A and B are shown apart, each in its own frame.
Chain A
Amino acid sequence: MALPENGRSRGYLAARGFRSWALTLDHKRIGALYLYTTLFFFLLGGIFGLLIRIKLMYPGQAIFSNQTYNVLFTLHGSMMIFLFIIPGIPSGLGNFFIPLLIGARDVAFPRLNLASYWIFVAGILVILGSLIRPMDTGWTFYTPYSAKTGANIALLSFGIFLVGMSSILTGLNFIVTVHKLRAPGMTWHRMPLFIWGMYATSIIQVLATPVVGITFLLLAMERVFGIGFFDPAKGGDPLLFQHFFWFYSHPVVYVMILPAMGVISEVIPVFSRKPIFGYKAIAYSSLAIAFIGFLVWGHHMFVSGMSKTASIIFSFLTFFVAVPTSVKVFNWIATMYKGSITFESPMLYALTFISLFIIGGLTGMFLGALATDVHVHDTYFIVAHFHYTMMGGTVMGLLAGLHYWWPKMTGRMLSEKTARWGWLLTFIGFNLTFLVQFYLGFKGMPRRWAEYPPQYQTLNIVSTVGSWILAGGILVMFSNFIRGLFRGDPAPANPWKGLTLEWQTSSPPPEENFGTVPVVTDWPYGYVKRKPAGDG
């Protein structure tokens, strides 16, 4: 990351050179490394997404082969999920800001932190190595197909195992950090809500990831020794794979969304200049979501041949997750009510998060209900639904966080004007791309198919053109990031006048974060009572 010059302190960015990054124990640098790595896969996965859309614009024409199509949507889905969105906010922003927000000098185990970054990189390299024979299973790797396809599934499984291990170690580190390293005076109910979100996330990472680890090991064994754990022909049970897979992969959608919700809970009160409404409700709803998230995995298997009773129970439980989620949305809106709202770019992204996530969440109810799920299962309705939650939700949350914390991370401001253009294009492009897909899915266009009947073509053209506008918005945004890194105006310590602790140290923060460890005397959202610290 770049640097303020003209005699201003470069803070934690002072040391230069490869070693100072590769061997760093500073959580801020490790967080930055994660951000670079995961954003790279966001862009790469995005290119694959655009390619898929180009193919879908011209049904019946051989832009590329159907096999290539299968490989592309698999690469797109798995890179976005495993290499971008799961590690993105937790390991990137989480590493950078957890210690700063609780007034600690670093995470509890800095060496472990560095190790988990390099384990992550090793996992990526193994996964890329396995692509010599590209996979075509979709990111869910369902057996028995994944046990038979020509791809290097065993090697790939090992790569995912490593990535998962890194995720476990990070989560573990955060749990201990939050428990043991809070600044004096920071009680649990004075913790910023981002910390609550990250704490709940870490619990999920630690409790769910080992199960996917063993699932992929079993899959690897199946490939290497041809055992048939999951192969009905040999007495195995393909549903066992799906149960294991979703026992992890459902809770993991909360690994994606809870940190984003944490970011939103920081941004909304700052730009509304009002105390957050319902602090405890937001805090505990994170834990509730994490807990209920473990009980609903079966809603992915309604049409897989589970028993009726099981389906009904899973459907019923699924609706429960909506409760704590709605509590949060309600509280954000109540926070904004009668606030003095300003629309700087972080706030624009936060509002986008709320509106798009509501659409994603409401359509999720269609999928949680048995009858409608059977109708829209494996159609474009699903594709639209998860892009609204994951991209409209999590990615917008990440972008809100990047715009909000950029001055703190780099010591430089972004161009607000460019940021707004980037936002506008992204917003229009996103909705153009994915809104029509709800309709396509409802009309029966299947997901993961390279071909479709011609009556769907018009809307597919709309969607593809939308994806180009979206890509344009993201390009504008990233050019702003890169320009900001090198040329942005020097950032003051507290440009948004926030009350959380990270704004009470310089931008960028020094190594070990604070000159003297701060003493906390109040919660961080008292916008009416207190004056913000720092210059600004």
Chain B
Amino acid sequence: MAHSAAESAGHPSVHASPAVAYEAAKLGIWAFLATEVLLFGGLFTTYIVFRLKFPEMFHRDYLHLDRVLGAANTVVLIASSLTVALAIASIRKGEQRLLKLFLSLTIFLAGVFLVIKYFEWTEKFAHGLFPGTDIFFSLYFMMTGLHGLHVAGGIAVLGAMLFLAGRGRFSESYNTPVEISGLYWHFVDLVWIYLFPLFYLIG
């Protein structure tokens, strides 16, 4: 295939220079994050509509949520945002070992988040609270569920970064993919920062 040469190197001839490639990747991820904001935006709108319509239901159901687990997860995610930022800082200085360490830590924390979420959900199921119970719980499961899927996606992306880091793909001068993945992870964290008060704090 005529493409194979260009392909193995990631079709590099598209971009005039690595600087252009970096700029393109940056613009691309920001545009992508804008679409993610809008995706969650639809759910936030639904939440507002029904909260205004059924204030009592929202208050009653809110009492069933476990604030301690929610807060624990918030701490876990914020910590993971820190570790991913440290991972980026490390590879900018060319520190391969620190990069791998911080990436692994981030993935670990993301895993912890999902485990806590798992216990939280099963506890709800045990009390007979399901997505079909009422509009509050369907929103709760849908929004935390969609966020959970994003966490899982983040684990996959960061896992890929860890794998590439293991092969020594990144350096001071080339670390765009790490940085892009880091931005995505900060976004996942940010969504949770909105979900947490919405469901667990305001009655």
| B contact residues vs A (CB 8 Å cutoff) | 1-3, 6-7, 10-11, 13-16, 20, 23-24, 27-28, 31-32, 34-36, 38-43, 45-46, 49-50, 53-54, 130-132, 134-135, 138, 142, 146
Contact = CB atoms under 8 A, between A and B. Distances in A.
A49 interface: no
A414 interface: no
A104 B14 contact: yes
A206 B34 CA distance: 8
B35 A15 contact: no
Contact of A221 (B6, B16, B138): B138
Contacts of A109: 24, 28
A5 B26 CA distance: 43
B11 A210 contact: no
Interface stretch (A35-43, A84-92, A172-180, A524-532): A172-180
A235 B7 contact: no
A40 B138 CA distance: 39
A313 interface: no
B28 A176 contact: yes
Interface in A175-231: 175-176, 179-181, 206-207, 209-211, 213-215, 217-218, 221, 225-229
B27 A228 contact: no
27 contacts: A25-B11, A104-B14, A106-B11, A106-B14, A107-B14, A109-B28, A111-B10, A176-B24, A176-B28, A176-B31, A180-B15, A180-B24, A206-B35, A210-B41, A211-B41, A217-B142, A218-B46, A221-B138, A225-B138, A226-B132, A228-B135, A229-B135, A234-B135, A235-B54, A235-B135, A237-B53, A517-B16
B1 A15 contact: yes
B42 A172 contact: no
A242 to B, nearest CB: 13
B20 A25 contact: no
A109 B32 CA distance: 13
A286 B40 CA distance: 28
A227 B131 contact: yes
Contacts of A25: 3, 6-7, 11
Contact of B14 (A20, A108, A226): A108
A308 interface: no
A451 interface: no
Contacts of A378: none
Nearest to A209: B35
A344 interface: no
Interface of A: 14-15, 19-20, 23-26, 104-111, 168, 172-173, 175-176, 179-181, 206-207, 209-211, 213-215, 217-218, 221, 225-229, 234-237, 240, 244, 511-512, 517
Given A19-B1, A25-B6, A180-B15, 20 more contacts: A23-B1, A25-B3, A25-B11, A106-B14, A107-B14, A111-B10, A176-B24, A181-B20, A206-B35, A210-B36, A210-B42, A218-B43, A221-B131, A221-B138, A225-B138, A229-B135, A237-B49, A237-B53, A240-B49, A517-B16
A218 B38 CA distance: 14
Contacts of A23: 1
Contacts of B138: 221, 225, 227, 229
Contacts of A14: 2
B42 A244 contact: yes
A235 B3 contact: no
Rank and list the top 10 A-B pairs by shortest CB-CB distance, nearest first: A214-B42, A225-B132, A210-B38, A210-B39, A227-B138, A106-B14, A180-B24, A225-B131, A108-B24, A210-B35
B166 to A, nearest CB: 21
Nearest to B146: A217
Given A172-B28, A175-B27, A221-B142, A235 B53 contact: yes
A109 to B, nearest CB: 6
A15 B135 contact: no
A215 B42 contact: yes
B35 A172 contact: yes
A167 to B, nearest CB: 10
A211 B28 contact: no
Contacts of B35: 168, 172, 206-207, 209-210
Given A20-B1, A24-B3, A179-B27, A214 B32 contact: no
B27 A176 contact: yes
Contacts of A207: 34-35, 38
Nearest to B35: A210
A54 to B, nearest CB: 40
B118 to A, nearest CB: 19
Given A108-B28, A181-B14, A181-B15, A214 B43 contact: yes
Contacts of B42: 210-211, 213-215, 218, 244
A12 to B, nearest CB: 9
B23 A180 contact: yes
A237 B31 CA distance: 31
A386 B36 CA distance: 31
Contacts of A110: 11, 14
